[in-house]
Structure 1
């Protein structure tokens, strides 16, 4: 399946995720405790807050729902000691779409005074139009002169001291980056440096395809596909040559083989390096291109196995003086044989085939070739073992007598190269068939045995040979029946889900073609099908839940909605029975970028909890809120009599998971569990209420700006504002 293999790469607006991620990178690099910021709409009167992160909420003491739609100048945190001149500078910065920084005294929700270093930066879209303001807050109270007073009395003295400190900018030297003397810095660049907000920290607010870092390789690109096939071929080469070299004791200091094996080892080492820079598909179906996540994923999965399979056993063994006349009494030769046997560890490279099977099974011819190769590989391994048994038993080491009933002895007589004792005065048995003849004969015997043909011209005679032959026949019957006898069944099982997926895709394509659906909408439909299939793997959740009894179904639903119940304080006092009743009514919705969850004027009959992703609320073509993980939107219909109509559009910016509950279902549960109903009504705060219209359109901003300009000329016009 292409969607599951490639991952989700549809264009999306990842502005919010980029701001949070890059701000965290900035934070860690400067050892700050937290990053606190809000986003304000630059196109609406009073620049309302459309998003605030958890750091700002924790710092200010306000809940996110309480600060949403308030002015991003944070005037609601001003107090009697806030400097009026600084307040005016903040307002002018917003009005002029400038980038600036301020040191200002503000108040938390509990009215505790705090000194903030506030940095304001405009955010532009693809048309270079300022659409948002990013305001970051750093608590610099520790840099201020402490006030030795246990109470909040004597504010006049405190005000005089703090205002005196405001005029001095020396405390900011510990917050601002160091600039070397003689460095020529442009004013705008210098200001950006002071704000610690470079172009890499301020992404544009626009729809774009996720970008891959330059040193990261896409796992589905042409280069990686070609490389995977090269690795597959070299893996089979290793699986063939390693058992052959170990069993037939080929000459280890052969320069040609040493060079070839060393080149193969280098290629597999390069593959390890590439795996540290190759994307992978995450659990949510998205393509993971973050280098840190890629490294951690590879280290926790295949790195150790790949490293063990790439150790230079041939190089180590080359330093041993290995001779074809192997003497088991020689300690040096025994160590050499041990190193030679350690090369079997290279067979761990077969794990590379296992992890890539989902790539190969999409092609029927490739599957058939792989099955045949597996069968041939099994015959090859068994042939190597068959020769090792014959080579061990052909000469009785205790009596130094050749066993004439051994298949190797009879093969030597037939081939005209019999075994002879002390033929050249070495005092050892010499002669015997050549290794090429022995290997071909061994492979012929294992093939005939595995396929249950068995002509009998080569047959086991010694006890060891007979035991091995029995085991090989059992293995052969299983392989033959599984691979060749049930090829049709294997294909059907491997392609069951894939066939359903492609049948659905074909039906959708025919539908789109028949009704001439526009290209843009067609692409959205196909992307939605691919993404939902990647998330659900074609599993019908409702059908599975219907199989389970009611009690078990409720437990599963509680587990599926555990993130909602744990993150929102409104559910903390709910009993087990209440949670189970609520969980049974919740539904999970997966949204693709660009999907509209609510249209303006549509009835709001659903309460939505955002579990992952980000969305934007659009009113009069203006973004009035950006919703992320943990936010709630909809309507407080448990407090209202009439059904509300949405005053804005809600559109997904990225891939989102929403847990939703219908109005009637929620009211039914609240009516039954009265104590929980009161707690729920008091503690559930909507991040955005779609019933309420909060702002007017752009023309109101233009009217306000005109009135301000008129006020400067005629003070009597100030009443309009």
Structure 2
């Protein structure tokens, strides 16, 4: 029950965090633009912008036309500057040191005046004091993204945040301790003064804040690329590091409460006769107690008895309830997202395997496609439903290799494909479906709806009229284009003579050609006219020869010619629907208008092109 409730809470928290990140990102963009405007860099960047976008051009003009900009004094620090980033890294390292060494020096390490730790603590106090000054001289962005450089407003904004804690942590307790009893091991008050280090532990939270702030820096990005760390892995590492630090701190506190009571008979050290054990063993026992309490195991072999021990144990148990629910909820969310990503990646790989089997690509290219999908699955849209959606995410190198590898470069056998550029080939060839037809199977029958063009890769097909074969096609030829372009039913039946492989160009692919390659579409129409005439001539010859057995060759040729002309007229030939002038078209729009007379689908392409032109 706790976990389910916490999952909802975690989701709400993540939503708020995303909103906060977006606000910060927008503020940073505005800040960078204004900073560059003052330095004169922004106007240079505008020159390199693609101003064809009307919206982008207006945005740039609006930003450029601002008459009032906030003047940043030289004494005010830019939070996005390199100096601020380096300083945050230094503070992060110092805070990491504080979170590890300070609890140890508080509990297990005996310190003396003017020893190494004394001077290190003085240096840390100085760094923290300088950090306060640094923050008081760093501008910030208000809720509207405006730069605030007035020191009074910076002070008030800092006061609402970490100012009090930061000031407290930079107080030199080491120097004050010299006037309050020194470092005597027998002075209980002196030991209590070691609680001065507690405020420094609050700065661990700033470490996480610092890490989140500098993750976008080039240094951190290079580290992530070097170790191939994803966002989720960074989250896991952050949670793991936070857990280790929390266990370390509470373990030191657990030993410290016994030390604070001079290890009397009621402390856990005395009760379990650990007085003579070395500090390493005692630290291990403290960590063991912290882990068993955190995980709610609680074997009972180390239990609290004194008031201080019970107080520490209760605080740790209360913290553990929240901590465990947070960890369980976060890990569950991460695992759920990773599972969804894994399922999505597996579905992409399954589509890629199906495409590879269908296309007969080489094993080397198949492995290359698989590796590409595995590495870049996060960039694929969840709307990938078929191979056409999948292929559009491949880079141009893979697409070109696919064209050359699919059925061993079978595209070259088709004149309509072989003379096209690589842009057309990369866009269209991988989209073609490969279908196998067994011997004597029907590819399509007379009267069927025509919505596909067939390209013969391997085998042989017969065109039949009234069960009579009048045309034979071999590899490198294609058919079915005329009926589909004219949007009429199939006029003949086509069957496979032997085991036959065909490329199938669906209507959706033709629509892509209409929109993106209108010149190729025009050529396909012209070829369909030629195929139509050749088919009619073959059919006329077969029909006349069958009817005029025993007639002279002259009469037969005349009858074939008359039958051919009659069939052209009766079939409402494509030539009658559209006339292509001999002169060369001067624009794609002219091509589209001419083709519109024949195919209404071209209107959609015209509208899309006009929209792109801003009409």
Normalising TM by the smaller chain, what interval? Answer: 0.3 to 0.5
Q: Which has the larger radius of gyration?
A: 2
Q: TM-score normalized by structure 2?
A: 0.38
Q: TM-score normalized by structure 1?
A: 0.33
Greater fraction strand: 1
